[in-house]
């Protein structure tokens, strides 16, 4: 699978696994664990989670999935903004490590910016890195002005943001800025999140036409489009084995210049700066 490389030199696959909404129902835990393990088998070794998801429940699911397989995974988790003080970051990380049943997190992110200064949060991250509790650190849901501030306080490895065919705002400024600095962007909700938006996306005639040309589903083409973007990592969430295998197959689809032009006409790129889209 195609990979991207962080500034630290660590390379990860462009297609990972998200865990939003996991860990919220004990009756689904076994299926969620099996899904993450199947994803590992398929090469989707980057797993993204957060202390917010299921109030730690998703991290517990990930921990169960990684039992005996920690070395196979690149593990990403996120800290709540209200826990992002110097001491709070370290305490939150320790709780996440216990739920995940691991000794370190490969990439630790600020989930979104809150009232704690970024400089203080990054100092906490750096202390965690020096202690061997995390590898790289980064941010999520920060727009370009905030990222310009962030690089003055530390060395964030990534910005994780909402990005899909319907939400292309980052292409105007944030994505080019990150690319110019060799900073990968992590795209959450690459297949959108709400039912109404998903219907608007996956039911679009242009997407269906491209899908038919590749003997693929509209969802696979929408995901392949995100994976086509340079320096972007997609982290769709799936529990159904059929969906997991379909996501993995999307990474092998090669869109043509004609496909890309058709999708641009149907889902136009931004022509001006926009407020950052968030879930």
The pLDDT tens digits along the chain (279 residues) read 999 999 999 999 999 999 999 999 999 999 999 999 999 999 999 999 999 999 999 999 999 999 999 999 999 999 999 999 999 999 999 999 999 999 999 999 999 999 999 999 999 999 999 999 999 999 999 999 999 999 999 999 999 999 999 999 999 999 999 999 999 999 999 998 778 888 889 999 999 999 999 999 999 999 999 999 999 999 999 999 999 999 999 999 999 999 999 999 999 999 999 999 998
User: Whose CA is closest to 62, among 259, 235, 269, 252?
Assistant: 235
Across 30-41, b (16+ Cβ under 10 Å) vs e yields eebbebbbbbbe
d(CA 234, CA 157): 16
- pLDDT given at position 221: 98
- pLDDT given at position 61: 98
Q: Is 12 helix (H, G, I), strand (E, B) or coil?
A: strand
Query: Are 107 and 49 spatial neighbours (Cβ–Cβ below 8 Å)?
Result: no
- pLDDT given at position 88: 98
Catalytic residues: 53
Terminal-to-terminal C-alpha distance of the chain: 28
d(CA 74, CA 17): 10
d(CA 4, CA 176): 16
d(CA 274, CA 256): 28
- Give the Å distances, CA to CA, from 49 to 63, 113, 137, 236, 257: 11, 17, 14, 11, 34
Which residue, chain included where needed, has tokens 């994976």?
227
- pLDDT given at position 110: 98
d(CA 277, CA 172): 13
User: Whose CA is closest to 110, among 73, 71, 149?
Assistant: 149
């Amino acid at each position: 699978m195609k990979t991207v490389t962080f500034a630290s030199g660590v390379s990860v696959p462009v297609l990972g696994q998200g865990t939003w909404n996991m860990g919220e129902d004990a009756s689904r835990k076994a299926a969620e664990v099996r899904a993450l393990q199947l994803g590992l088998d398929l090469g989707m070794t980057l797993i993204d989670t957060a202390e917010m998801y299921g109030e730690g429940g998703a991290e517990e699911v990930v921990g169960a999935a990684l039992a005996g397989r920690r070395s196979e995974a690149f593990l990403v988790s996120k800290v709540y903004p209200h826990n992002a003080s110097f001491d709070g970051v370290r305490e939150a990380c320790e709780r996440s490590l216990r739920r995940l049943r691991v000794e370190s997190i490969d990439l630790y992110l600020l989930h979104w910016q809150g009232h704690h200064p970024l400089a203080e949060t990054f100092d906490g991250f750096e202390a965690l890195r020096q202690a061997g509790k995390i590898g790289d650190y980064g941010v999520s849901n920060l727009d370009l002005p905030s990222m310009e501030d962030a690089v003055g306080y530390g060395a964030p490895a990534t910005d994780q943001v909402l990005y899909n065919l319907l939400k292309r705002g980052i292409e105007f400024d944030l994505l080019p800025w990150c690319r110019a600095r060799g900073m990968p962007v992590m795209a959450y909700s690459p297949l959108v999140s709400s039912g109404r938006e998903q219907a608007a996306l996956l039911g679009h005639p242009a997407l269906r036409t491209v899908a038919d040309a590749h003997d693929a589903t509209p969802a696979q083409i929408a995901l392949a489009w995100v994976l086509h973007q340079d320096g972007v990592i997609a982290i769709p969430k799936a529990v159904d084995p059929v969906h997991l295998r379909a996501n993995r197959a999307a990474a092998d689809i090669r869109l043509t210049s004609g496909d890309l032009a058709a999708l641009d006409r149907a889902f136009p790129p931004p022509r001006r700066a926009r407020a950052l889209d968030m879930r």
